[in-house]
Amino acid sequence: MQEAIILVGGKGTRLRPLTNHTPKPLLGVAGSSFIRHQIAKLMDAGVEHVVFATSYLAGLFEDEFKDFSQNLEISYAVEEVPLGTGGAIRNAARLLRGGSADAPVLVLNGDILSGLDLREVLERHRARDADVTLHLTRVADPRAFGLVPTDGSGRVLSFLEKPKTAEECVTDQINAGCYVFRRSVLDAIPADREVSVEQETFPQLVAEGSRVFGHTTDDYWRDLGTPLAFVHGSADLVTGRATSPLVAQPAEALIHPTATVDPTARVTGGSTVGPRAVIGPRVVVDRSIVAADVTVDEGALIHDSVVDHDSAIGSGTVLRETVVGCHAHIGADNELPPQLRLSCGIRIPAQGVRVSGSAVACPSVH
């Protein structure tokens, strides 16, 4: 039986306020929660049992899957206190059904969208008789990442901290957040404290001479941990740049059948419009996520942004790279500076904020 662990216990702080009430893996991308895309991909690869390593808002995962009736067993390993990535894997391993000490166990971060062929990485792991196989991806600018150099056979040489100088950029390969562990290696991770696989387990295994290999691919890869990456990942799934068994065919936009979109509005770039949302005349929604029960009034422009459920965007308002929490009310004719995060329930009056020089006349009597 092929088994997998998905790490879903993080607080997702970089995605607040979206993650205030919803764990990152349960946020909607391309019409389904992200974890459902991952589950579908695991099932396609022949996985029959998955353990969710939960902690933050753990009960919501059980709610999400309480009616799940497909051919996959789901277990929940709940951490009262977050154990870090390594501790979480070790804790989740308690619930694996078994198999031999050599059985390969897939481990996925709960926030990575990738085109990796899971069957292929499992095959490579077996063929190399590896203790651990890590999916590695190449990045254009390695300075923001810990680096994972490998030798000609793919064996991992070391785990390097973020490089500070050009000379320290010895490779463009980084840890892509998907691993295959030999079961006995996984069971040897300490169970009684917080452990990071990246900072502790992997470097230690390499230092001990264990068989740690990289599986480097040039497939699509995106860490959905930041707002812009999150919204772009969703758009990529809709347009077909990234694939998921849950997205039947590429489209310019994914509009829920219960949403209302005025015929003069343009919804483009892989945007999604959620249930019962109302998009008014001449609105532009580009490469964005408009969640359930949101209203967007005439002429508003929404680019590279997420508007969470039950919020309202007034007419003529402009959002760029903005995250709007749930139940927010942004009045008409606001032009918000890019990369703002608006808290859940916030109210901005009409004409309250403008970036460009066209501020409205002072309404007070002097």
Contact positions toward ligand GTP, by CB under 6 A? 7-14, 24, 53-55, 79, 82-85, 88, 109-111, 225
Instruction: Give the Å distances, CA to CA, from 3 to 6, 43, 74, 240.
Output: 10, 10, 10, 28
Helix %, strand %, coil % of the chain (to 5): 20, 30, 50
C-alpha span between 86 and 89 (Å, rounded)? 5
In the complex, what is the shortest distance from the CB of residue 105 to ligand GTP, in angstroms, rounded to a whole number? 15
Q: CB of 106: closest distance to ligand GTP in angstroms?
A: 14
CA distances from 16 to 42, 52, 91, 115 (A): 28, 22, 27, 26
Q: Which is nearer to ligand GTP, 88 or 319 (CB)?
A: 88
User: Does 162 participate in catalysis according to the annotation?
Assistant: yes
Closest residue by Cα to residue 126 from 183, 88, 173: 183
Collapse the DSSP code of 166 into the 3-class scheme (helix H, G, I; strand E, B; otherwise coil) and give the result: helix
Q: Toward ligand GTP, which CB reaches closer, 285 or 344?
A: 344
> Residue 7 is inside which H or E element, if any?
strand 2-7
CB 36 to ligand GTP: min, Å:
15
DSSP 233: H
What are the two backbone dihedrals, phi and then psi, of residue 118, each rounded to the nearest 5 degrees?
A: -65, -35
Q: Name which of 136 and 313 has its Cβ closer to ligand GTP.
A: 136
Least distance (Å) between residue 114 CB and ligand GTP: 13
CB of 214 to ligand GTP, least distance (A): 19
Q: Which is nearer to ligand GTP, 83 or 300 (CB)?
A: 83
> Among 51, 201, 237, 213, which residue's Cα sits nearest to residue 121?
213
| Catalytic hit among 11, 41, 66, 162 | 162
Instruction: State the residue for tokens 């015929």.
Output: 263
Nearest residue to 48 (alpha-carbon basis) of 11, 75, 87:
75
Please give the Cα distance from 217 to 192 (Å, whole number).
Answer: 35
Between 112 and 279, CB nearer to ligand GTP: 112
- Give the active site residues: 162
